[in-house]
Amino acid sequence: MRVRYWRLNFDDLANGEYPVENVNHWEIKCLQGEYEHFGIFWYKYGTPFDKEPVNGICFYYNDIPLDKVEDIANFLKSKYGGKVAYIQTRVFLQGSKEFADKQSITNLAEELSSKYNAPIEITIEFEKIEKDTQDQVITLPQNKGLPIVGPD
């Protein structure tokens, strides 16, 4: 089964435990205004770029000035490397360092919140989780977990 935990904050993630090998996707959404926001994300199996998946971290943006987009891209590249590629409102850091552990995600979320003066929301999706053992292997807030219908 797949399950997504959403609207997590720093404490939720720092105080929780989960199997890193079952993380399928994570996202850090940074709110800049009513409609202005950006989100850094990672998919275990790569993010579609045209028709081919690109491995590494990525981000999207909505109503963010281009100089800030470039600043975010440069900030992420300096931390995680990768080749920067732009397509519409998404930026890919192809070949960048990949991670799914809570400490790395929390550290990045705290840095983004501080650097861009942004409240954040964290989402983590897991795959191949047994329904019977979900509460034992994932200790994130149960009220923030949503099962995802469909194949694992």
Interval 29-38 mean pLDDT: 93
Residue-wise pLDDT for 101-112, tens only, equals 999 999 999 999
Residue 55: pLDDT band (50, 70, 90) is very high
Give the mean pLDDT of the chain. 95
pLDDT of residue 37: 96
pLDDT of residue 138: 96
Specify whether the CB–CB gap between 22 and 4 falls below 8 A.
no
Interval 23-44 mean pLDDT: 95
Torsion of the alpha carbons at 134, 15, 122 and 105, rounded to the nearest 10: -110
User: Structural domain boundaries of the chain?
Assistant: 2-148
pLDDT of residue 2: 95
pLDDT of residue 119: 95
The pair of structure tokens assigned to 86 is 């732009």
Pick from 127, 119, 145: which is nearest to 6 by CA? Answer: 145
The pair of structure tokens assigned to 131 is 């329904």
